[in-house]
Structure 1
Amino acid sequence: MTSQYAEHPAMFRNNPLGFILAVILVPAAIGILILMFWYLKCKSTKLEINGNEVILEKGLLSKERTELSVSGIRTVKINQSFFNRLFKVGTVSIFTAGDNPEIQAAGMPRPEVFRELVKAAQA
């Protein structure tokens, strides 16, 4: 089965004011550094549903990979501010057992689609 959801955190939609500020600072050269760092941070994080697994992969040079079985997921929590809701991004927290999330990914596009795919895979 191919991936139904494989996304990197969004840059502009997750923090539009920070993005605009960084673009304004481009002539001062610090804006370029901020945008490059931010871009690499976003591209080095990926949340994916692949078959019956949820995978969070982080890191550019060294990798941290967390894999969860969809059947073991107890709760998928989505946290969105007003602007996050407007731009359709949010923080996805996945709980299996206990009070701490096993996976937490901020700035993820279409978080409601992610939650629905997990529910569909559990059925």
Structure 2
Amino acid sequence: MQVLASKCPYCGHSVETTVDHLEERIVCPSCHKPFEMEVPRVSVTSVREVDGDRETISRDFASEQGEQTLLKAHPVIFRRRPLGTLAIVALWVAAGYLFMQSRGGEQAGAMGWVSLAMIVCSLFVIAYWYVLSVATTLTITDSRTIFRQGIISRDTSEVQHDDVRNIQVEQNFAQRLVGVGDVGISSSGQDDLEIVAVAMPDPAGIVDLIRENQD
């Protein structure tokens, strides 16, 4: 078995592979980025004969390319709720005002507790929004789109890029201003949308990424 050695064009790490994978995309064991080992992109620095399993030959041996994750996105937290966000900010301003007023006067203690309660309630609301966001994930790989949502019970939908028939993006005027939109994906043979991702950041970029990876 002939082993070809070269350097990764991204990180410069030494990479080894066999002639069987010379025309295929390989993955650097250091930076995990794929590239093709072929002239003139990458020059071979040495060729040697080895015996045994290639996995035991060297830790610099390149791995074969698997499915690559291109994007992981969660629904935005504040941009999808402009009125709620403004209400939170107004609540904090009011709480700060009450706290400053509580530093003196007969009702100082009561005003201080009220301001603290307002802050705590707003933090609970923000935490709830955050949990809803991280519990919903849109993942785009080089071959498919995966949508997962749920906290206790999780629902998963996926569509292969080559099977995508229709992609819909819905944005109202306010959403366009803040770069947020709803993305719907359907595949061939399906009348309904199989994936509906609400309040995703950069919806146009998501659509472009899917289209770029279709054969």
TM-score by structure 1 length? 0.88
Which residue is 1:53 aligned to?
144
Match of 1:3 among 69, 74, 80: 69
The CA deviation at 1:112 is 0.5
TM-aligned CA distance change 1:116 to 1:25, over 3 Å: same
Is residue 117 from structure 1 mapped to residue 213 from structure 2 by the alignment?
no
Q: Which amino acid aligns with 2:197?
A: A
Paired residues for 1:1-123 under 5 Å: 1-25=67-91, 27=95, 28=118, 29-96=120-187, 97-123=189-215
For these two proteins, the number of residue pairs brought into alignment is 123
Residues 45-79 of structure 1: per-residue CA shift (max 9 Å, x gap): 01011121100011223322111111111111000
Higher relative contact order (CA 8 A, sep 6+): 1
The CA deviation at 1:15 is 2.1
Between stretches 58-67 and 83-92, larger displacement belongs to 58-67
**Structure 1: gaps (5+ residues):** none
CA distance in 1, matches of 2:161, 2:70: 13
Between stretches 94-103 and 47-56, larger displacement belongs to 94-103
Between stretches 14-23 and 90-99, larger displacement belongs to 14-23
CA distance in 2, matches of 1:20, 1:49: 32
TM-score by structure 2 length? 0.53
Q: Which amino acid aligns with 2:71?
A: Y
Secondary structure (helix, strand or coil) at the match of 2:184 reads strand
CA distance in 2, matches of 1:84, 1:90: 6
- Conserved 8 A contact 1:24-1:31: no
Q: CA RMSD in A?
A: 1.7
Which residue is 2:3 aligned to?
none
Computing the radius of gyration over CA atoms, which structure comes out larger, 1 or 2?
A: 2
